[in-house]
Amino acid sequence: MSASGRIGTKTLTTPLPASRMKFEVIQGDIAAQSADALVNAANTSLQMGSGVAGALKRAAGSGLNDEAVAKGPVDLGGVATTDAYDLDAEYVIHAAAMPPGGQSTAESIRTATRNALVEADALDCKSLVLPAIGCGIAGFDFEEGIRIICTVIDEYQPESLTDVRLIAYSDDDFEGMQRVAADVRD
C-alpha cells in the first residue's frame, strides 16, 4: 500500500501499459474526493437515499438530489449526470445498478459501470471516482461485484479518462477490493 496525497486515503496502484488509464483502489469517503466526476451508486428512480448516495447528498447540498430526481427515472444500467454542487468535482454521474427497493444483477453492475465510464469520457473527464456499484444495499455479492467492476474498468479503452479510482469506505472492503483488483490485473 502506498501513501497518496489525499489525507486519510489508502491507495493501491497497479502499474499499467502506457496505453491504459491509471486504475487505483483507494479507501476513504467518496464525498471528500477530488475528481472531475464522482459516481453515485443509484437506483433507477435516481432518488438519493443512504450509503454512497446519502454521503454525496449530505456533502453536496439538497440541489444534488433535486436535480437527480428531475433527470429520472433511467433504465436499469443507465446513467444520468448532474452538477456536483458543493463537492470537489464538476459532475456526479448517477449509475443505476438496481431498481428502487430491488437487487442488482451481474449484468446491471456491468452495464452501469461501463455506462459511467462512457459518460465520463463523453464529458471529457480525466479523473473519475466510483464506489462498489450494486454491492451495498442492492444485495449483490461484494467480491463478485468488485470483480465485475474491475474487469469492466480493466477492459475499457478510454478517450479522455486517465485516472480511475475505485473507492472503499471500510478497511475490510478496501482489502477485498485490493485483492480482487490485483487478481483481475494478473
Summarize pLDDT for 49-90 with one digit per residue, the tens.
888 999 999 999 989 999 999 999 999 999 999 999 999 999
Rounded Cα–Cα distance for residues 21 and 5 (Å): 19
In CATH, 2-185 is 3.40.220.10 = yes
Question: How high is the pLDDT of residue 20?
Answer: 62
Question: How high is the pLDDT of residue 18?
Answer: 39
How many Cβ atoms from other residues are within 10 Å of residue 8's Cβ?
9
pLDDT > 70? residue 115: yes
**CA nearest neighbour of 98 among 89, 109, 82, 88:** 109
Grid coordinates representing 142? 461484494
Question: How high is the pLDDT of residue 43?
Answer: 94
**Span 96-105, average pLDDT:** 93
Q: Where are the domains of the chain?
A: 2-185
pLDDT > 60? residue 6: no
Q: How wide is the angle at C-alpha 58 spanned by C-alphas 73 and 120, nearest 5°?
A: 55
Do 138 and 97 meet the contact criterion of CB atoms below 8 Å apart?
A: yes
For 155, half-sphere exposure in the C-beta direction (CA atoms, 13 angstrom radius) is 10
Question: How high is the pLDDT of residue 94?
Answer: 98
Mean pLDDT of the chain: 89
pLDDT > 90? residue 141: yes
Do 128 and 26 meet the contact criterion of CB atoms below 8 Å apart?
A: no
